[in-house]
Structures are given as C-alpha cells and as structure tokens.
Amino acid sequence: MNTDVPINEEVRSKLVFSDYRFDNIEFRINPLFNFDKPIDVQFTLSAEIKIIDDVTKSAVIIVGCRVFKNPKENNYPFTIDTTISGDFHFEGDIGDDEFVRFCETSGIATLLPFIRTAITNISTIANLPPLVLPLLNVKNLHMKIMDE
C-alpha cells in the first residue's frame, strides 16, 4: 500500500494532547551487577485518569513505569521509576463514559513512547547498554490496568 492519504478532520483524532511533564524520574544503579550476561527486561506499568472538567471534557492521564524493581536483591543492573502526566481534552460532543474510554486507550498509548524514550536515554546517559522497552498491546494493557 503506497497511497498518500491527506490528513484532514475526517482522520484527525478529536482527542487533543496539549502538554506533558515528567513528575518523577528516579534512577539507581546496581554496582554489583555483571553485564556479561543477558537480562530479561522486567517492568510494571500503572495508569490513572483524572477527569478535570466534565463539561469541557478535559483530563490528566498519569502513567507510571518501574523497571527492574529491587536491583540488588534480584540481580538487575539498575532500577528506574518514572511517572509522566499528560493533559488531554476532547473537541466535539462525546459522552462521559466514551471520553474516559478514549483517555484509557488513546491517552495511555500517547504517553507510552515518552516513557520508553526516557528510559532508553537514561540508561544510555548512565553509560550502560541502552534499555529499550518492548512495544505493548495498549488494548490488552488497558484491560489489565483497569481491572486492578
């Protein structure tokens, strides 16, 4: 498929991402770790949707990520704990429940690349092998996070 599709109102998302900020970034290295062996990336994610205004359909979405919890005890190279918040609003008419569903899927999917990039950059800046988190199925992730 090699067709140029014009980006217009028909295909542009009505969920608007207006700003983001990293609320927390913590990094601790495990000086006892031996980098000669491969490691299995262990990480957890959390998400929270805070509706700011029901009328204007605005929300703050908070996504947290912890990589390699308890590095010394579990023989991991380091630990990174980070939280990002994103400001979103919806342009147009939408019901409250549908707006929350948009935030839970599209909002979280919008913020995840920022977390992945930050973690890769932090590990690289620390003069360690770059850690790249795997891509995630946001629909399945959303169901797991919201079930907890």
Does residue 81 form part of some domain?
yes
The two tokens of residue 83 are 């939280």
Does residue 84 form part of some domain?
yes
Q: What does pTM read for this prediction? A: 0.88
pLDDT for residue 31: 92
Does residue 1 form part of some domain?
no
Does residue 83 form part of some domain?
yes
CATH number at residue 72: 3.10.420.10
Measure the CA angle with vertex 83, ends 141 and 142; round to 5°: 15
Polymer length in residues for the chain: 148
Domain housing 82: 15-147
User: pLDDT (tens digit, 9 = 90+) per residue, 52-103?
Assistant: 999 999 999 999 999 999 999 998 999 999 999 999 999 999 999 999 998 9
Closest CA to 116 of 134, 98, 94, 102: 134
Does residue 8 form part of some domain?
no
Q: Quickly tell me which residue has 């023989």 as its tokens.
A: 75
Structural domains counted in the chain: 1
Does residue 111 form part of some domain?
yes
Does residue 9 form part of some domain?
no
Sign of dihedral through CA atoms 23, 139, 79, 72? Answer: positive
